[in-house]
Amino acid sequence: MKIVVAYKWASNPQDATVGAQGTVDWSRAKPGFSEYDPVAAELARRLADATGGEVIGLTVGTKRVDATLARKAALSRGFDRAVIVADDSLEGAGSTQLAAVLAAAVRHIGDVDLVITGDSSVDVGSKMVPTVLAGQLGWPAVAEVISITGQAGALRVERAVPTGTQVLEITGPVVLAASTDAAVARVPGMKDILAAGKKPVESLDLAALDIPAAAGTTTVTGTSRPDLLTRKGQMIDASDPAAAAAELVAALRGAGAL
Amino acid sequence: MTEAAEPDFDVIVIGAGIAGAITAYQLATQGRSVVLIERGEAPGAKNLSGGVLYCRGMQEVFPDFLTEAPVERRITRNYINFLNADSSIGIDYKDTRLSDPVNAVTVLRAKLDPWLAEKCEEAGVFLMPGVRVDKVLTEDGPTGKRVVGVKAGDDELRAHVVVAADGVNSFISQEVGLRTKEPLNHLAIGVKCVVNLPRETIEARFSVTGDEGAAFAIVGDCTQGIGGGGFMYTNTESISVGVVLRLDDLTAKNKSTTDILDYFLAHPFIAPYLEGGEVVEYGCHLVAEGGLAMLGEISMDGLVVVGDAAGLTLNTGLTVRGMDLAVASGVAAAKGIGAALDSKDTSKVGLAGYREALFASYAGKDMETYAKAPAFLETERMYKEYGELIGNVLYGVFNLDNSPREHLLKVAMKAFKKSPVKIKHLIKDGLAGVRAL
Ligand SMILES: Cc1cc2nc3c(=O)[nH]c(=O)nc-3n(C[C@H](O)[C@H](O)[C@H](O)COP(=O)(O)OP(=O)(O)OC[C@H]3O[C@@H](n4cnc5c(N)ncnc54)[C@H](O)[C@@H]3O)c2cc1C
């Protein structure tokens, strides 16, 4: 079985700051293996070990995703090899464009049975990439996946739905987005990182990929902070507890909360 | 000396701070196989420093350091400030000679450390971030315990030599018994923040231009009388500002570091420099202050200790120096380790070249020069009474309140009589200061 894990080398919002206008300053944010992607890598490794398959890490982004540090961080997560599309023209690329490039890379790799992604990226978090990628490939997509078993062409996938869980049988290739807690990912050890330094990496030229032209373009023209809830700031004197409780109940009734 | 298993690397360096990175870089350029292990997800992620780097040593390692590395500003203005609650006395030392050749620059570790790590990788070092070394592996050798590798999680790596570059309070060197837990008076705590301000604002407020910068050393009310001092350094578009507080004094006086930093930042003589700025980084870190007394054994069979881990920090009262000493120890260690590897003797005896090279360098010499500084800086009066005394003398001179003027000496004697500082203190501290600094 040939499994591709689409991962993102993403800026960690922990060090990003939001300006008064709602603009986000990412300049201090450090890039890393996106928060939920280790879960995808773990599911892939387990499935490959159970079926004797191969796991290929795939990422798309600016040049920084191809730095030695980024390569090793990814390859220490249990991939057998990596395929990387790094091109600075992808700076600020949206989910649709990234998914289109990912799809082209998946086609380039060829004979892929399954693509697994994380739940969402830590920097953008649109949750769109897996579905757009599936759409580009003409494959089905399943999100909130909690377990994957079976064989290529006969996968048994369990996913979380609001009412509980669902079990799916999938016959063809598919894109699966792992739920954030589908597995506890192992932390790469020294031997994993050493081995990562020796694993093969294929860098693909963006221009040489077969990416269908988009029908239109999307441009961000403005951003704003979410509206802050305005609070009433009403204080209740609690020196007489019984009276305070009555006043609180009355105030909540008045506001329609009770 | 025979070693059991075939090692994975010639050298394992623990900690990708300045000392570790320089050691690893120098060894890789000698053609050794080196792994540099860092617990932070990326080098620099965990490091904090006030940020004036005396850069000559660094330039010996990287001749193009000033143009290539992420340096912020070249320090041409040094300002020494005695701060009292309601007065401030300063010595403003500007010197164009300080910029040609450049002697000190401000750096931000969040940028410098990744740059150093990149240089290491280019030189062939295997960088291993996100790994915390849990312990060193030892074996019993003919001359006692010998370090043969490291362990992290379930994994072990072996090398001919392990370098402990794990910073102040190095638990690696404590674990192997090279150091004991530091006494409190060898340690200080530094609290620092980085405040963003536009370039032009910084240049106007600190009266510097271009890539020139200012370094303020502040004693007195900035630490509310606790042994230590404050600093304020200009970066390109931010200011590094903070206090370094002696741990024993802080504990004895039962004060909190954040309260002291807040008080300092809001001080009427400091706040105007920072006004309108935005705090973008905040952190605290231990600083080694023991001086030469803290520098103990720095090598044993199969292991050397460099940088802060070796106690290589100098607090001269006006400057905290650690980064340049980290560089010097890295260079010296790489020299000693190289010789040991060549002679196939990586025992303590074989590694003796490190200590020799260190003491022959500016770092070792300066550690000897300032050997008495820590004790001198423990003098209480430094942090309180002296600043007030000078303040009162100057007040007497400049406060023209229509009373007849008196000669400076008289004013001084009056202020002196009111001050708890006695002549014998002045003489004693003066002499001690001259000898120590
Ligand atoms: C507030 C403050 C202000 C200062 N101001 C100045 C100044 O203006 N000028 C100056 O020259 N010096 C200054 N210093 C001192 C200077 O920061 C240090 O001397 C210098 O950082 C020492 O470098 P180092 O490489 O030895 O240690 P560090 O920079 O502390 O690096 C140690 C590294 O080891 C890593 N590490 C630790 N344990 C492990 C482990 N078990 N496994 C893996 N990795 C590990 C750490 O994450 C870290 O990256 C200041 C210090 C402070 C706290």
Does some domain include residue B159?
Answer: yes
pLDDT in tens, B288-314: 776 666 677 899 999 999 999 998 888
Q: Identify the CATH number of the domain in which residue B210 sits.
A: 3.30.9.90
Helix, strand or coil for residue B3? coil
Residues B342, B198 share a domain: no
Query: Which amino acid makes up residue A84?
Result: I
Task: For residues B198 and B240, state if they share a domain.
Answer: yes
Cis peptide before B101 (omega within 30 of 0): yes
B20/B147 same-domain check? yes
B311 with B331, same domain: the answer is yes
Cα dihedral B398→B402→B408→B411 (10° resolution)? -100
Residue with tokens 């040991």: B340
- Lowest-pLDDT range, A233-242, B109-118, B194-203? A233-242
Q: Are B348 and B427 within one domain?
A: no
Domain co-membership, B327 together with B408: no
Per the prediction, chain B carries an average pLDDT of 86
CA angle at B9 for the pair B351 and B356, rounded to the nearest 5°: 15
Residue B165 and residue B65 in one domain:
yes
B270 in the same domain as B199 = yes
Establish if B252 belongs to a structural domain. yes
Q: What is the ipTM of this complex?
A: 0.76
Q: What is the domain extent for residue B218?
A: 185-288
Task: Give the containing element (helix H, strand E) for B190.
Answer: strand B187-196
Q: B198 and B167, same structural domain?
A: no
In a domain, B51, yes or no: yes
Q: How confident is the model at residue B282 (pLDDT cuts 50, 70, 90)?
A: confident
Confidence category of residue B384, pLDDT binned at 50, 70, 90: low
- Residue B4 maps to a domain: no
Among B345, B369, B393, identify where a domain stops: B369
Please tell me the distance from the alpha carbon of residue A31 to that of residue B269, in angstroms, as a whole number.
Answer: 39
pLDDT per residue rounded down to tens, chain A (258 residues): 999 999 999 998 887 888 777 778 888 788 899 999 999 999 999 999 999 999 999 999 999 999 998 999 999 999 999 999 999 999 989 899 999 999 999 999 999 999 999 999 998 888 999 999 999 999 999 999 999 999 998 999 999 999 999 999 999 999 999 999 999 998 999 999 999 999 999 999 999 999 988 888 888 888 787 777 777 788 898 889 999 999 999 999 988 888
Pairing relationship of beta strands B228-234 and B88-94 according to DSSP bridges: unpaired
In a domain, B263, yes or no: yes
Residues 6+ apart with CB under 8 A from A128: A95, A96, A99
Check if A191 contacts B (Cβ < 8 Å): yes
Cα gap A244→B85, rounded to integer Å: 46
Tokens of residue A8, six digits = 């993102």
Per-residue pLDDT at B2 exceeds 50 = no
- The pLDDT value given to residue B203: 95
Q: Is residue B225 assigned to a domain?
A: yes
Tokens found for residue B348 = 């303590």
Domain at B36, CATH number: 3.50.50.60
Lowest-pLDDT range of B11-20, B189-198, B244-253, B373-382: B373-382
Residue B31 has pLDDT above 60, yes or no: yes
Nearest-CA residue for atom 45 of ligand 1: B15
- What is the number of alpha carbons within 13 Å of residue B145 lying toward its C-beta? 12
Pick from B271, B288, B305: which residue ends a domain? Answer: B288
Does residue B34 share a domain with residue B152?
yes
Looking at residue B88, the DSSP 8-state letter turns out to be E
B344 and B230 part of one domain: no
At B327 the pLDDT is 96
Q: Look at B41 and A30 and tell me if their CB atoms are within 8 Å.
A: yes
SS3 annotation, chain A: CEEEEECCEEECHHHCEECCCCCEECCCCCEEECCCHHHHHHHHHHHHHHHCCEEEEEEEECHHHHCHHHHHHHHCCCCCEEEEEECHHHCCCCHHHHHHHHHHHHHHHCCCCEEEECCCCCCCCCCCHHHHHHHHHCCCEEEEEEEEEEECCEEEEEEEECCEEEEEEECCCEEEEECCCCCCCCCCCHHHHHHHCCCCEEEECHHHCCCCCCCCCCCCCCCCCCCCCCCCCCCCCCCCHHHHHHHHHHHHHHCCCC
Q: Nearest 5°: CA angle at B331, between B329 and B335?
A: 110
- Residue B422 maps to a domain: yes
pLDDT at B402: 67
Q: How many residues appear in chain B?
A: 437
For the beta carbon of residue B395, count every other beta carbon within 10 angstroms: 13
Chain segment B57-68, per-residue pLDDT in tens:
999 999 999 999
Q: Which residue(s) pair with B141 in the sheet?
A: B144
**B81 CB-near residues (< 8 Å, 6+ apart):** B88, B89, B90, B91, B216, B217, B218, B219, B220, B269
- Tell me which of B59-73, B112-126, B184-198 is least confident: B184-198
pLDDT 10s digits, A203-212: 999 999 999 8
User: Closest residue of A to B108, CA-based?
Assistant: A28
Torsion angle of the four alpha carbons B406, B409, B414, B418, in this order, in degrees rounded to the nearest 10? 150
Q: Within B144-293, where are the H helices?
A: 171-175, 199-205, 247-253, 257-266, 271-274
Q: Are A190 and B37 within 8 A, CB to CB? A: yes
Q: Is residue B375 part of a domain?
A: no
Mutate to test the pocket of ligand 1, among B78, B134, B287, B294 (most ligand atoms within 8 A of CB): B287
Contact between B383 and B223 under an 8 Å Cβ cutoff? The reply is yes
Q: Are residues B203 and B189 part of one domain?
A: yes
CB contact under 8 Å between A189 and B131, yes or no, is yes
Any B CB within 8 A of A18 CB: no
Number of domains forming the structure of chain B: 3
Residue of minimum CA distance from atom 1 in ligand 1: B190
Which residues line the pocket of ligand 1, CB cutoff 6 A? B 14-20, 37-40, 46-53, 132-133, 165-167, 190, 192, 242, 244, 285, 287, 307-309, 313, 320-324, 326
Assigned token pair, A197: 């330094």
Strand, coil or helix: B232: strand
Task: Select from B288, B304, B324 the last residue of a domain.
Answer: B288
Q: How far is the CA of A250 from the centre of ligand 1 (A)?
A: 59
Q: Does A190 touch chain B (CB under 8 A)?
A: yes
